Amino acid sequence: MTLDELRENFAFLDDWMDKYRMIIELGQDLEPLPEEEKVRENKVLGCQSQVWLVCRPSTEREGALHFVADSDAHIVRGLVAIVLMIFDHKTPEEIQAIDARPIFAELGLDQHLSQGRSNGLLAMVKRIQSLASLAA
């Protein structure tokens, strides 16, 4: 699913429980992160749940980055999927230019997530932008 498709689906759903279910379903489609990459160096600090994130060169787009991530919590896996929709297969420069907060607000995540989950989302974004900075 693309970010635009997610926006359309969210606009169609009125009930936040339905949106939560959709977020959880998104997490089920994440690219698997091998167990050997679920190490301390790949953990995203600042998340309530455990989140691991790795960065690789994109095979889909020259000069772009590909992110693979996983979490031990179903809802967080879905939130990871949303973050990856925003940043995956973009160049380091594009990644640095993205402010994800308005996208989260547009989806209503800023109003319907706990403070801890919201902080975790921002920690994922910060980690992705840090990895992009290193790759630049």
Task: Give pLDDT tens digits for 97-106.
Answer: 999 999 999 9
For residue 1, the surrounding DSSP H or E stretch is none
Selecting among 47, 64, 73, 95, the annotated active-site residue is: 47
Residue of 68, 80, 84, 85 lying closest to 8 (CA atoms): 85
Q: What confidence tens digit (pLDDT) does each residue in 111-133 have? A: 898 888 999 999 999 999 999 99
* pLDDT band at 1; cut points 50, 70, 90: confident
Residue of 29, 66, 31, 35 lying closest to 50 (CA atoms): 35
Structural domains for the chain:
3-135 (3.90.1010.10)
What is the pTM assigned to this prediction? 0.94
* Catalytic residue flag (residue 47): yes
Please give, one letter per residue, the 3-state secondary structure of 42-97.
HECCCCCCCEEEEEEECCCCCCCEEEEEEECCHHHHHHHHHHHHHHCCECHHHHHH
pLDDT of 54 reads 97
**Whose structure tokens read 């089920």?**
28
